[in-house]
């Protein structure tokens, strides 16, 4: 199977993709006085990524790279202008809100990935589904009402529910935000829906110099292998990089370094057993254990009976 996937990867359509790593300190990330500097850094790094002989057609910024709600922020015009001028698709993390007066919650907030098309317009959005308890929402709110004031400043997001890939012409992006990359089912469902590239946007600055960023990066490899899709990861402070459909790391960045890395990324559309079977094989194996134990006992009893009859 490895040889087959390697062969298909070598002949597959490709796209030149850029992963931008801003390396914004967590202590400064949400400061109103720093948001302009943050945007300037991402635009500068993105411009560097476009300086080569080949220009990336798809660019990825990390989770909440835009530290503001784009609908109300004049700085968003600079981002749109950059995208339009360079005719690229930009996928960036950002908080987002939706106004729905007819709903019980007239305003809902989400941790989102926004796709800007080559005209600089918002063409698609993915809302994070697996939210962080007490960081992005309060579980059992009715019973833990006293905790709400402690997390209001962090966020009270509404989870998304769509597995549809984001359409960027040749790229159909299945998005994973933050630790969603450790959950197999989201990537699997997105791939079944037609994703030919998995994209992980994350901010691992919370973990500092611990081993957590390395663990998170290592677990992301499994999503590429399970679905036989290339995976690009853009992390605020690292590790950012590219993984091919066989699980091999094409490129990766060091931690705590502002940079942009480009890679020509294979776009496979093959189907895997895991894509369609999910966890059924594992459940089947568990279900067979009692039956196999029963057969083992019968065999042992038969052996004992045979020996006694001699």
Give the pLDDT of residue 62: 97
Which entry of 57, 128, 136, 190 is annotated as an active-site residue?
128
| 148 classed as catalytic | no
Supply the CATH classification number for the domain 2-278.
3.60.110.10
What is the spatial distance between Cα 187 and Cα 182, in angstroms, rounded to a whole number? 9
Catalytic residue among 57, 136, 178, 226: 178
β-pairing, 241-243 vs 89-99, is: unpaired
Domain extents in the chain: 2-278, 279-310
Q: Examine the residue annotation and report whether 105 is marked as an active-site residue of this protein.
A: no
What does pTM read for this prediction? 0.86
Instruction: Give residue-wise pLDDT tens across range 177-209.
Output: 999 999 999 999 999 999 999 999 999 988 888
The residue annotated as part of the active site, out of 29, 40, 53, 63, is: 63
Q: What percent of the chain has pLDDT over 70?
A: 93
Q: Which of 24-33, 75-84, 270-279 has the highest mean pLDDT?
A: 75-84
Query: Which position has the higher pLDDT, 28 or 21?
Result: 21
Would you call 63 a catalytic residue per the annotation?
A: yes
Give the model's pLDDT for residue 310.
62
Contacts of 36-45 with C-beta under 8 Å, sequence gap 24+, read 36/75, 38/65, 38/66, 38/67, 39/66, 39/75, 39/78, 39/79, 41/258, 43/78, 43/79, 43/82, 45/20, 45/21, 45/258, 45/259, 45/260
179: closest CA among 143, 146, 124, 217? 217
- Measured CA to CA, the distance from residue 57 to residue 208 in angstroms comes to 32
């Amino acid at each position: 199977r490895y040889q087959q996937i390697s062969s298909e990867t070598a002949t597959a359509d490709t796209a030149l993709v850029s992963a931008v790593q801003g390396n914004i300190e967590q202590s400064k990330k949400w400061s109103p006085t720093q948001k302009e500097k943050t945007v300037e850094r991402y635009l500068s790094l993105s411009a560097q990524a476009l300086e080569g002989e080949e220009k990336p057609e798809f660019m990825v910024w990390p989770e909440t790279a835009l530290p503001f709600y784009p609908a109300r922020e004049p700085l968003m015009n600079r981002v749109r202008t950059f995208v339009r001028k360079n005719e690229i698709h930009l996928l960036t993390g950002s908080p987002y809100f939706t106004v729905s007066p007819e709903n019980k919650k007239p305003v809902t907030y989400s941790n989102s990935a926004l796709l800007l098309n080559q005209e600089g317009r918002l063409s698609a959005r993915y809302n994070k589904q697996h939210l962080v308890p007490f960081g992005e929402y309060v579980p059992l709110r009715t019973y833990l009402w006293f905790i709400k004031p402690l997390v209001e400043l962090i966020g009270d997001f509404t989870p998304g529910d769509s597995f549809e890939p984001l359409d960027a012409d040749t790229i159909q992006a299945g998005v994973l935000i933050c630790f969603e990359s450790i959950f197999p089912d989201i990537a699997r469902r997105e791939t079944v829906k037609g994703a030919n590239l998995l994209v992980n946007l994350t901010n691992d600055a919370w973990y500092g110099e611990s081993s957590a960023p390395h663990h998170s990066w290592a677990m992301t490899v499994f999503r590429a292998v399970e679905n036989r899709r290339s995976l690009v990861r853009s992390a605020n402070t690292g590790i950012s990089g590219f993984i091919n459909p066989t699980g091999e790391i094409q490129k990766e960045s060091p931690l705590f370094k502002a940079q942009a890395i480009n890679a020509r990324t294979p776009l496979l559309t093959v189907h895997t057993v895991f894509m369609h079977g999910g966890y059924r094989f594992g459940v089947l194996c568990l279900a067979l254990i009692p039956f196999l134990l029963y057969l083992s006992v019968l065999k042992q009893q038969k052996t004992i009976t045979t020996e006694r009859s001699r």
